[in-house]
């Protein structure tokens, strides 16, 4: 194969690898935003569970206050009952006592409901807190993996840049110019394999004479349609690799 064609193929591999690494780096802020959103959802879950529990506690305090008030009235009525002088007064105070007792009973029933609810809400809060802890752990691990990958990507970009400088330095200037022009026009892909008489990237059939030249891998030949620099990979004979050397 012509050395320049070999360099062009290697250069394309480096350019593509660098693009892939740069794309991964560019995705990091979005990835971080998604991680932060996961944490925020879990934090909101805990905050909402705490709020519901606090509401329950407030409601219980209000019921306790009401019960205390009705109990105060009840003892007052009982004292008054000792001092009544007429039947009418007696019946009236008994009615008040019964009413206060009814209120106390009703409040105690409501209190019991609220206490049962508090058990559920406490369990829900615990669940939300353990969900948050799990999310924090998962996000932490994800961030660590992202940081490690960041290091690998940076190192690979630097390594590629060094290798690229070496190849570019050795490459024929005209060929390099062609590579760069096509690369710019074709989304960073300036090289294409020709296979079965077809450019494998734009899928246009090459003229037989062009394909024959490409097959020899001795010249820089561009696809008539997409302008990419073409190369040919010789097919390995079906049995060549299966036969043990003897
Ligand atoms: Zn093409």
Helix 3-83 × helix 87-170 angle, to 10°: 170
Q: Report the separation in Å between the CA atom of 191 and the middle of ligand 1, taken as the mean of its atom positions.
A: 9
- pLDDT category, 175, cuts 50, 70, 90? very high
Residue 89 scores a pLDDT above 90: yes
Q: Report the separation in Å between the CA atom of 233 and the middle of ligand 1, taken as the mean of its atom positions.
A: 16
Q: Report the separation in Å between the CA atom of 10 and the middle of ligand 1, taken as the mean of its atom positions.
A: 19
- Contacts of residue 117, Cβ cutoff 8 Å, sequence gap at least 6: 56
- pLDDT category, 246, cuts 50, 70, 90? very low
Q: Report the separation in Å between the CA atom of 198 and the middle of ligand 1, taken as the mean of its atom positions.
A: 8
- pLDDT category, 237, cuts 50, 70, 90? low
Q: Report the separation in Å between the CA atom of 186 and the middle of ligand 1, taken as the mean of its atom positions.
A: 10
Residue 22: phi and psi, rounded to 5, are -65, -35
The CA–CA distances, whole Å, from 61 to 56, 58, 108, 111, 120 equal 9, 5, 12, 9, 18
* pTM to 2 decimal places: 0.70
- pLDDT category, 124, cuts 50, 70, 90? very high
CB atoms within 10 A of CB 136: 14
Q: Report the separation in Å between the CA atom of 193 and the middle of ligand 1, taken as the mean of its atom positions.
A: 9
Q: List, for residues 42-82, the tens digit of each pLDDT value.
A: 999 999 999 999 999 999 999 999 999 999 999 999 999 99
Q: Report the separation in Å between the CA atom of 168 and the middle of ligand 1, taken as the mean of its atom positions.
A: 23
CA 237 – CA 143 distance, rounded (Å): 48
Q: Report the separation in Å between the CA atom of 42 and the middle of ligand 1, taken as the mean of its atom positions.
A: 51
């Amino acid at each position: 194969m012509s050395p320049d064609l070999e360099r062009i193929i290697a250069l394309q591999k480096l350019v593509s690898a660098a693009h892939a690494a740069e794309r991964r780096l560019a995705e990091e802020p979005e990835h971080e935003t998604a991680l932060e959103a996961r944490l925020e959802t879990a934090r909101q879950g805990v905050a909402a569970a705490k709020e519901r529990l606090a509401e329950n506690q407030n409601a219980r305090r209000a019921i306790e206050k009401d019960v205390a008030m009705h109990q105060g009235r009840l003892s007052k009525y009982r004292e008054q009952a000792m001092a009544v002088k007429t039947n009418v007064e007696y019946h009236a105070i008994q009615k008040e006592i019964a009413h206060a007792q009814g209120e106390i009973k009703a409040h105690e029933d409501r209190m019991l409901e609220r206490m049962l609810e508090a058990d559920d809400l406490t369990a829900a809060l615990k669940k939300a807190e353990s969900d948050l802890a799990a999310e924090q752990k998962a996000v932490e691990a994800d961030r660590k993996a992202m940081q490690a990958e960041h290091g690998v990507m940076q190192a690979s970009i630097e390594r590629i840049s060094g290798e690229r400088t070496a190849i570019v330095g050795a490459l024929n200037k005209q060929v390099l110019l062609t590579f760069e022009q096509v690369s710019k026009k074709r989304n960073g892909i300036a090289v294409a394999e020709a296979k079965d008489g077809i450019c494998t990237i734009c899928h246009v059939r090459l003229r037989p004479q062009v394909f024959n030249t490409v097959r020899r891998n001795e010249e820089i030949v561009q696809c008539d349609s997409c302008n990419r620099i073409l190369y040919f990979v010789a097919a390995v004979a079906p049995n060549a690799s299966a036969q043990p050397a003897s």
